[in-house]
Amino acid sequence: MTTDVASLDLTANAVDLTVQLVDIESVSQNEQAIADAVEAALSACGHLTVSRHGNTVVARTDLGRGERVVIAGHLDTVPLNANLPARREGELLHGLGTCDMKGGDAVILRLAATVPEPNRDVTYILYECEEIDSELNGLYLLGQSHPELMEADFAILMEPSNAEVEAGCQGTLRVEVRATGERAHSARSWKGVNAIHAATPILERLRAYEPRKPMIDGLEYHEGLNAVFISGGVAGNVLPDECVVEVNHRFAPDRSEAEAQQFVRDFFEGYDVTVTDSAPGALPGLDLPAAKAFIEAVGREVNPKFGWTDVARFTSLGIPAVNFGPGDPMLAHKQEEHVPVEHIERCERQLREWLTTPRKPAESASREREHASAGTPERRSSW
């Protein structure tokens, strides 16, 4: 470790460690300093095998346990917004990355450093570029270059989820719905057909949309259908011949991508519908033994995950996965993001208990991972 590398004190408590991590600025694609610090600190722990992949750091125990879990968090943040350095006010820690997700990273580092003999083998992954172009996502790249390092019976992503367990995730689909017309000079509009006016029923249908809220594995999902962009227009004196409404459909994981696409096509019947983006949902998978054991151990209520996160990257590999991290996801990416100190402490305490309490016989059963899965490997971050 040279003096150029910021040092992290893994003997500090997780809250102080969060402050240390937040104060190493690590906007996406600027993760070298934080990855160097993380690599150096973990390499000092003799019980871990550490490897570096770009600015992604992997640290593993290899105790020959009958089960392996991944605990992962991303090291990058969205751009600075006059919200560094970290600042504690009472029971809240403020600053860029406090919520998304250096509080979770601190918990990971604390567990990695201080639980030398966990009751199941653990692969800790601290990765780069979650907040930007999904092709740069460290977890995606690791799955491509070293798929064996992703292997596990269960995965926990420490994405902010109010220190509650969020399971599964909804699929997301984007389509362009197109209304057409005929151009004409706006001074003689009766000679043409205004495509923007012709788009009225598209908006009327969206406005009348009633979301499905299916129950799956005891979790209530909540679908959505929203215009996210609208555009049309040629010139200030011309009737436009095209108006495009870009619609984002969020669908519960009991529907396949094909079913969701069909729903959207039927919904906009009479209009040209082009799919521009599609990612499957992920079923909660809470009936798989490793997941069940975790839920029991933390004893928390399980909530459905509405957004798309890297959880789906694991479930698409047949690995049940949940989000379980400090911080309110609604504060992610906001200038005023912050995290309750209590969330960080609770996540650390519960994970520590889960990794150190002697496992029940049922939990040690053979791995039940299925590698077949629902959909193509994903190349996106949380959506």
Binding mask 181-200 for its own copies (x = CB under 8 A): ----xxxxxxx--x-xx-xx
**Residue 244: C-alpha distances to residues 11, 196, 224, 227, 248 (Å):** 56, 9, 19, 10, 13
248 binds its own copies (CB under 8 A): yes
The string over 140-153, giving b where at least 16 C-beta atoms fall within 10 Å of a residue's C-beta and e elsewhere, is bbbbeeeeebbebb
175 binds its own copies (CB under 8 A): no
Is 176 catalytic? The answer is no
Q: Which of 36, 76, 131, 310 is catalytic?
A: 76
81 binds its own copies (CB under 8 A): no
With respect to its own copies, which residue has the nearer C-beta, 16 or 176?
Answer: 176
Q: How many residues does the chain have?
A: 383
Is 9 catalytic? The answer is no
**Residue 258: C-alpha distances to residues 253, 268, 287 (Å):** 12, 16, 25
Count CB neighbours of 11 within 10 A: 10
Position among 85, 116, 147, 233 found at the interface with its own copies (CB under 8 A): 233
229 binds its own copies (CB under 8 A): yes
Position among 1, 235, 296, 336 found at the interface with its own copies (CB under 8 A): 235
Position among 214, 307, 318, 375 found at the interface with its own copies (CB under 8 A): 307
274 binds its own copies (CB under 8 A): no
Tokens of 213: 């809220």
**Residue 307: C-alpha distances to residues 23, 125, 172, 251, 318 (Å):** 28, 21, 8, 10, 19
DSSP state of 173: E
Q: Please, what is the minimum distance in Å from the beta carbon of residue 195 to its own copies?
A: 9
DSSP state of 310: T
Angle subtended at Cα 142 by Cα 138 and Cα 143, rounded to the nearest 5 degrees: 120
d(CA 284, CA 5): 40
d(CA 6, CA 167): 35
Number of residues that bind its own copies (CB under 8 A): 48
Q: How many CA atoms lie within 13 A of 72 on its CB side?
A: 33
Q: Please, what is the minimum distance in Å from the beta carbon of residue 225 to its own copies?
A: 8
With respect to its own copies, which residue has the nearer C-beta, 34 or 225?
Answer: 225
- The interface region with its own copies, picked from 45-53, 149-157, 237-245, 280-288 by CB under 8 A, is 237-245
Sign of the dihedral defined by the CA atoms of residues 200, 206, 207, 208, in that order = positive
d(CA 329, CA 23): 21
- The interface region with its own copies, picked from 46-54, 101-109, 202-210, 264-272 by CB under 8 A, is 202-210
268 binds its own copies (CB under 8 A): no
Q: Which of 31, 100, 105, 130 is catalytic?
A: 130
Q: Do the Cβ atoms of 164 and 326 come closer than 8 Å? A: no
- The interface region with its own copies, picked from 92-100, 107-115, 179-187, 279-287 by CB under 8 A, is 179-187
Q: Please, what is the minimum distance in Å from the beta carbon of residue 311 to its own copies?
A: 13
With respect to its own copies, which residue has the nearer C-beta, 116 or 211?
Answer: 211
Enumerate the active-site residues: 76, 130
Q: Which residues bind its own copies (CB under 8 A)?
A: 170, 172, 174, 185-191, 194, 196-197, 199-200, 203-204, 206-207, 211, 222, 224, 226-240, 243, 245-246, 248, 250, 277, 306-308, 330, 383
